[in-house]
Structure 1
């Protein structure tokens, strides 16, 4: 009986560690860049929605810039996929643009409840208007 209790303790402990390995990544995130002073409409918004399951990151981004004149957003398909490294706390993701650019690579980190997006390699083969780096605030977790 003592062995079974000990085994259950380790199983539940391992499950709890696995569940908390990627806190504060899943959910919706947003960064807003204001335009000229006095403008109520932001110059750009960058929204990222992420899911992490078994260290696999999936999601999508939507980037609206130039006061809405350029919209890089595909509401039908996910355009982010990658892997979360539990040792470093960094996700490395591939992403594509809704303007046909593919093969982008970015790193995602969470510091002080903010999500940091850093493009390591911009997508090619089409247009890409997204930011090279951004600090996003959580809208949902």
Structure 2
């Protein structure tokens, strides 16, 4: 026993229960391994294969689950996927520990390049708005449209 433990402390600690990831009706989850990052992706199987693709990026402290309601509303209009940014939701931290907007944009770009979907309708909220703006700026070939919801963008001087 170490000097910092109480004599009445149990020999083995009990870990708190973690709630299972909530998956809405019609949603599925998958894990995608990419160089330097592993992403959890929430998606709705497309009702038709010819639908344009949409990718949703959550805000600071959020997760892909933030987009469940909108993905359900747009079902049949777009084939929607929402990612958990590295270190958020069910995605583990990035290998390089880079949580910057640029680091997250790099992860989104890696995912879009690997998905082979071509251009996507890109949605971003808060931090996700800053990330998707960076993606659109450096890789406009990946973005069909950009929709920002309360984006966390720095004041321009």
Q: Do they superpose with TM above 0.5?
A: no
TM-score by length of 1: 0.29
Point out the structure with the larger helix share: 2
